[in-house]
């Protein structure tokens, strides 16, 4: 804890008889801040830097030894061909379908439930909302083991929809609570004035509530993306067939089975898979933060 070092120093000097001058304390604090930031940048950015630079380095150059940049003859785009090779192309398509499906399903279901919780005063409402929080305790492995045989029996094993509903369910506790809390911040009087002028309830919902939930919708979509794009456990167990599976379990299969696929290829796929995450992290970070803020209202 580099910022802490300055703070602890001050604890010694409590009582103020022996106090460092304000300037000195200020300088120590500033030093701690910048040191912390530097360590953060180094540790946070290094793995990505290593991935990206090796994604552009020829297989030969990677095997020859450690180098910091793909300079001169070692620069190559060959690794990106891996995404057109049979298996990886299938995994990418499957991952995209599952991720989009999960985002759509989470957005719609959490919007409806959030509206219901915020605007209808029904029995056992708060108890139900608390019950939803139990979802945080659901372990993918605990649920996926029984789901494996259940899906096998009813024919959902190796289907996209089977995985999409599983991933939507574990996204629910966060998504529904966020939507509920968010819609509570929209004044009901806006809807009421629409009803006064004769609009049916659903028009008020579509015309007044829906456009205003945009920040919450974006936050929910981001977290659904994070869960679906990242999911390994459910996909590995519920999509055992090679042609049905998604990128995370698919890539691990390649790690274990194929000697043709080198680290350069994996870093190239990794870069492509992380790229959307980087874009979202840069452009949509305020929505993620807002999501957590509203959630804890």
Tell me which residues in 31-70 interact with other proteins (CB under 8 A). 33-34, 36-37, 40-41, 43-45, 47-48, 50-51, 54, 62-63, 65-66
Q: How many CA atoms lie within 13 A of 110 on its CB side?
A: 33
Figure out which of the listed residues 87, 101, 181, 239 binds other proteins, where binding follows CB under 8 A.
181
Inter-axis angle of helices 214-230 and 263-283, to 10 degrees?
170
CB of 97 to other proteins, least distance (A): 16
57 — phi, psi (to 5°)?
Answer: -110, 140
Q: Which is nearer to other proteins, 5 or 212 (CB)?
A: 5
Which of the residues 249 through 268 are near other proteins (CB under 8 A)? 251-252, 255, 263, 266-267
Smallest distance from other proteins to CB 173, Å: 9
> Measured over all CA atoms, what is the biggest interatomic distance in the chain, rounded to whole angstroms?
77
Closest Cα partner for 177 from 246, 225, 126, 122? 126
Distance CA 99, CA 76 (A): 30
Q: For residues 88-107, which are near other proteins according to CB under 8 A?
A: none
Write the binding mask 116 to 155 for other proteins: x where contact by CB under 8 A, - elsewhere. Answer: xx--xxxx-xx-x---xxxxxxxxxxxx-xxx-xx-----
Would you say 56 or 225 has its CB closer to other proteins?
225
- CA–CA dist 286, 278 (Å, integer): 14
Residue 241 binds other proteins (CB under 8 A): no
In the complex, the smallest distance separating the C-beta of residue 125 from other proteins, rounded to whole angstroms, is: 7
End-to-end CA distance of the chain: 30
Minimum Å gap between C-beta 288 and other proteins is 6
Which of the ranges 80-88, 190-198, 211-219, 247-255 carries the binding residues for other proteins, by CB under 8 A? 247-255
Could you tell me the smallest distance in angstroms from the CB atom of residue 48 to other proteins?
Answer: 7
With CA atoms as reference, report the closest residue to 170 among 239, 109, 247.
109
Those residues whose C-beta lies under 8 Å from the C-beta of residue 163, and which sit 6 or more positions away, are: 98, 231, 234, 235, 238, 239, 246
Residues 141 and 73 sit within 8 Å (Cβ to Cβ): no
In which residue are the tokens 């070092």 written?
5
Residue from 158, 159, 230, 242 binding other proteins (CB under 8 A): 230
Shortest Å, Cβ 26 to other proteins:
9
According to the binding rule CB under 8 A, does residue 215 interact with other proteins? no
Q: State the nearest-atom distance from the C-beta of 217 to other proteins, in Å.
A: 16
Q: How many residues bind other proteins (CB under 8 A)?
A: 102
């Amino acid at each position: 804890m580099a910022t802490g070092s300055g703070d602890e120093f001050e604890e010694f000097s409590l009582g103020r008889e022996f106090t460092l001058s304000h300037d000195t304390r200020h300088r120590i604090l500033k030093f701690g801040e910048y040191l912390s930031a530097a360590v953060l940048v180094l540790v946070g950015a290094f793995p990505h830097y290593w991935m990206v630079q090796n994604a552009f380095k020829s297989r030969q150059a990677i095997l020859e030894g450690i180098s910091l940049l793909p300079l001169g003859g070692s620069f190559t785009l060959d690794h990106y061909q891996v995404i057109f090779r049979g298996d990886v192309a299938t995994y990418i398509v499957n991952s995209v379908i599952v991720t989009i499906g999960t985002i759509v399903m989470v957005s719609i279901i959490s919007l409806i439930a959030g509206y219901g919780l915020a605007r209808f005063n029904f029995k056992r409402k708060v108890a139900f909302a608390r019950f939803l929080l139990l979802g945080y305790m659901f372990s993918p492995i605990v649920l996926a083991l029984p789901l494996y045989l259940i899906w096998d029996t009813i024919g959902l094993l190796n289907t996209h929809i089977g995985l999409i509903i599983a991933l939507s369910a574990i996204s629910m506790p966060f998504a529904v609570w966020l939507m509920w809390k968010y819609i509570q911040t929209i004044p009901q009087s806006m809807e009421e004035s629409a009803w006064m002028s004769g609009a049916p309830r659903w028009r008020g919902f579509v015309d007044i509530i829906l456009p205003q939930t945009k920040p919450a919708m974006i936050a929910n979509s981001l977290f659904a993306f994070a869960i679906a794009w990242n999911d390994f456990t459910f996909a590995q167990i519920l999509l055992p067939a090679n042609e049905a599976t998604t990128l995370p379990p698919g890539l691990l299969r390649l790690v274990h089975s194929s000697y043709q696929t080198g680290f350069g290829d994996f870093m190239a796929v990794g870069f492509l898979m992380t790229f959307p995450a980087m874009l979202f992290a840069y452009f949509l970070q305020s929505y993620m933060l807002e999501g957590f803020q509203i959630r804890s209202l």
